[in-house]
Amino acid sequence: MELGLRNKVAVITGASHGIGRAVALELAAESCDLAICARGLEALEETRREVLAKGVRCEAMPVDVTDASQIAQLFERVTAVFGRLDILVNNAGRARGGRFADLTDEDFISDYQVKVLAQVRCVRAALPLLEKSPAPRIINVNAIVGRVIQSGLLATATHRAACFALNKGLAIELAPKGILVNSVNIGFVLTNQWGASRRHNLPPGKSLEELADEHARGRGTALGRAGRPEEVAAVIAFLASGRASFVTGSSIDIGGGQGAHI
């Protein structure tokens, strides 16, 4: 399917591994130019090399999305190199584990910074460029845990729920400017981050994929398996395209049927 993304420019945060990397490769395959960022430059450069091999332009910057000055520098570089921006994918984030009794004020603040405030700051910095695009898109990567509370993920659940409200509010406020804002909410997806902590302790005769699928079933995933980053990336590419021109304010679960919510 032709998505019409050729020569568009996208910014993807958290693009060195997992879902962010998969999104970068998916958009590059659609001939979209990219600016990618993450905290670790080495892995980010590897993603950049894979993107460049697809024949598109790609800028890579080490950025900590909890630092407003680094976010500002990222979008200054996008302006200098590309002079435009059509798509912002807010993907950077990490889960802050812990039950209420174990979480300090600092834990809550740190989690809020990387989830809610990072999205706020990236959108604010991107707006001057997005307002000039003929088909601007903002896609926020969130998590189903904001709807279905899981033990040991209270801070994450609290702030992902806040991200859902932010997503809807932005969609309403930015609609008059033609900027479409949507959220994709992941369930259990097999990423490098999850795999790295378990790869060296696999039960005999069991692959990482099999272990991930068991974990997904334990979380109540109806399809009985873990998702793959490429499956998330495909939905994000659709939302970034002209095929989704009447979709805004949506919050789309990509979790294989995880959760009993409506």
Task: For the chain, give every domain's residue range.
Answer: 9-187+230-254, 195-226
* Per-residue pLDDT tens digits for 115-128: 999 999 999 999 99
DSSP 149-191: --TTBHHHHHHHHHHHHHHHHHHHHHGGGT-EEEEEEE-SB--
C-alpha to C-alpha distance for 44 and 37, rounded to whole angstroms: 7
Pull the structure tokens for residue 20: 């962010």
* Per-residue pLDDT tens digits for 157-205: 999 999 999 999 999 999 999 999 999 999 999 987 777 767 777 888 8
Q: How confident is the model at residue 87 (pLDDT cuts 50, 70, 90)?
A: very high
Pull the structure tokens for residue 5: 């993304």
Q: How far is CA 233 from CA 68, 118, 148, 259, in A?
A: 26, 20, 22, 21
User: 3-class SS at 10?
Assistant: strand
Share the mean pLDDT of the chain. Answer: 95
Pull the structure tokens for residue 245: 């021109």
C-alpha to C-alpha distance for 21 and 63, rounded to whole angstroms: 15
* Per-residue pLDDT tens digits for 24-49: 999 999 999 999 999 999 999 999 99
pLDDT of residue 123: 98
* Per-residue pLDDT tens digits for 1-17: 689 999 999 999 999 99
User: 3-class SS at 139?
Assistant: strand
C-alpha to C-alpha distance for 131 and 63, rounded to whole angstroms: 23
Give the architecture-level CATH label for domain 9-187+230-254. Answer: 3-Layer(aba) Sandwich (3.40)
Residue 251: strand pairing partners: 183
pLDDT of residue 261: 86
Give 215: exposed, middle or buried? Use CB within 10 Å, 0-12, 13-18, 19+.
middle
**Averaged pLDDT, 210-236:** 93
pLDDT of residue 69: 98
pLDDT of residue 149: 85
Closest CA to 63 of 84, 87, 29, 91: 91
* Per-residue pLDDT tens digits for 159-172: 999 999 999 999 99
Q: How confident is the model at residue 150 (pLDDT cuts 50, 70, 90)?
A: confident
